[in-house]
Structure 1
Amino acid sequence: MSIANAGRVLFGRTPKLTRNLAQISSLKFYSSQMPKYEFVKTEKVGENQNIAVITLDRMKGLNLLNNTVINEVNDAVFKFDKDDSVSVLILTGSEKAFAAGADVKDMQVMDYSQAVKEEFLESWTAISKTRKPLIGAVNGYALGGGCELALMCDIIYAGEKAQFAQPEITIGTMPGAGGTQRLTRNMGLSKAMEMVLTGNYMNAVEAEKAGLVSKIFPPDQLLAETIKLAEKIASHSPLIISMAKKSVHIAYETTLKQGLQFERTSFYGTFATADRKEGMTAFVEKRAPKYINE
């Protein structure tokens, strides 16, 4: 697990930090056949080497986001999404910052017509369209675009020192990559409105209580615990996992009536799969199922 440690945090100053590497001796790591990115590291981990870890590693700004960083994240995510040897994806950063937001210097010189013509931030939400489960492992700062990036993950595990915020209001703008929408759906109107209108930070305990994150761990245990979760998910049928994920997102995005209809249709659809038959047969025979993703 690489720990990016130098630079400044968006909307605030931080002392100069040193780079460290945290070793997780109980996990199996190996290099995957992926492009060599400038700001992103990739690896496959786990007992079956079927968990993809994508680590933001922009050293000079606590993982400040720009189009280059996002394009690299998108490329890595969608390559793993198409890789049949991968069942679950994890997106993480360093112990100091998951991502400290968009680089203000890039935005400072932009005007309205440029933003419209370039469809600024359009590609920043692409990872929300993955078929496979995407888990965010958030340590340190998840601010602005970093918070929005975490919100695009299907599940968020957080380190005890994680800090979430949408501080765009403090520099004369507002969230533009889903912050006002996903926060409201995750936490409700009042909490989301408070975060967006004040720019206040929310710590990990508050985020868990608000439903923003699932669980909290010590920073040095976060990735290992996230991998455990990923391996638990990966033990099930990849085909059925993708169907169930889509059904949950339909609940998140549509009405109850539409969601129930989609869920029932998807449930019926599982009866046309070999994995549904294998799962139920294995249960009756009291043995572990052997899924074939069909």
Structure 2
Amino acid sequence: MSVLLSETESGVTTVTLNRPKQLNALSLELRGALAEEFIRLAADEATEVVILTGSGRAFSAGLDLKELGQTGLQSENATGPNLHDAIRNLGKPVIAAINGFAVTGGFEIALMCDILVASNQAKFADTHVRMGVVPGWGLSQRLSRAIGASRARELSFTGKYLDAVTAEHWGLVNRVLSAEELMPHCLELAREIRQADKVTLHAVQHLIDYSLDHGLDAGLEYEDKLSREHGKKLSSAELEDRRGSVMGSGRQQN
């Protein structure tokens, strides 16, 4: 049985962690397969948006502790492509459809994604301090940006679980849905994203990430630079056509 499933339809690729009996624990094999798949998808013209989820009752329970006891901590560079870099450098929107437990390493992978949507069965936990392992995939930096420093400290210092409803209230996930509604909602969200102008979408995604990495002032300066460069390439006729299309879409939704 493959530890990773990937299916592309109409520009949307669904990537599924597929070790349900192990709660999708991140074995060396799964981590390698996931990194290699995201590298492949970065160059795949048929993929415009990615949905990342897990099979069974977990998104991912984190590193495979049974395997870890046998091999010890191994660096990503020593075992293949870097998983963090592969996901963050995809250059396309990634939606995390968090169907169940997202714990420690699984929590970190969820935080690498652009948009987080959760099932009402989802639970989050950062158990690094209990395991005696310092985060290495960005959790210590991204969690505080998502929910605030005080709440991030509470979760990371205690290792306690955060339920889906509280995660939504804290702004960690955009919304909480039933298990049956989760994937249809994420697929519809992906379809809506696909309607965007691809060049502009890539620029906006990059600008949001740039500001988070470099701060507001640097982000504003960089936005002004990209906006001017992009504006020079866009004719007034193209802009008018796109404005009409957007307004028409808004009237249809109303």
| TM-score w.r.t. length of structure 2 | 0.88
Q: Which runs of 5+ in 1 are unaligned?
A: 1-36, 290-294
Q: Show the counterpart of 1:197.
A: 157
In 1, the alpha carbon distance for the partners of 2:50 and 2:150 equals 31
Q: Show the counterpart of 1:25.
A: none
Alignment partner of 1:157 out of 117, 125, 136? 117
Q: Show the counterpart of 2:82.
A: 123
In the alignment, does 2:2 pair up with 1:38? yes
Q: Show the counterpart of 1:94.
A: 55
In the alignment, does 2:25 pair up with 1:61? no
Alignment partner of 2:207 out of 224, 247, 251? 247
The alignment's C-alpha RMSD in Å is: 2.6
- Measured after TM superposition, the shift of residue 116 of structure 1 is 6.3
In 2, the alpha carbon distance for the partners of 1:157 and 1:118 equals 30
Q: Show the counterpart of 1:227.
A: 187
Q: Show the counterpart of 1:20.
A: none
Q: Is the 8 A contact 1:96 1:139 kept in 2?
A: yes
In 1, the alpha carbon distance for the partners of 2:16 and 2:76 equals 30
Higher helix fraction (1 or 2)? 2
| TM-score w.r.t. length of structure 1 | 0.77
In 1, the alpha carbon distance for the partners of 2:49 and 2:235 equals 18
In 2, the alpha carbon distance for the partners of 1:145 and 1:73 equals 13
Whichever residue aligns with residue 147 of structure 2, its letter is: M
SS of 1:271 mapped into structure 2: helix
Whichever residue aligns with residue 145 of structure 1, its letter is: G
In 2, the alpha carbon distance for the partners of 1:62 and 1:262 equals 41
- Measured after TM superposition, the shift of residue 220 of structure 1 is 1.3
CA deviation profile, 1:220-240 (whole Å, cap 9, x unmatched): 110110011111011011111
- How many residue pairs match? The answer is 248
In 2, the alpha carbon distance for the partners of 1:236 and 1:251 equals 21
Alignment partner of 1:211 out of 148, 151, 171? 171
Distance 1:107 1:260, change over 3 A: same
In 2, the alpha carbon distance for the partners of 1:268 and 1:221 equals 41
Percent identity for Structure 1 against Structure 2: 29
CA deviation profile, 1:19-69 (whole Å, cap 9, x unmatched): xxxxxxxxxxxxxxxxxx821111123xxx111111111133010002211
- Measured after TM superposition, the shift of residue 173 of structure 1 is 2.6
Distance 1:195 1:285, change over 3 A: closer
In 2, the alpha carbon distance for the partners of 1:231 and 1:167 equals 35
CA deviation profile, 1:102-148 (whole Å, cap 9, x unmatched): 0112333456xx74696589823121121111110001100010000
Distance 1:177 1:286, change over 3 A: closer
In 2, the alpha carbon distance for the partners of 1:134 and 1:276 equals 31
Q: Is the 8 A contact 1:54 1:89 kept in 2?
A: yes
Whichever residue aligns with residue 3 of structure 2, its letter is: F
Distance 1:51 1:172, change over 3 A: same
Q: Is the 8 A contact 1:94 1:140 kept in 2?
A: no
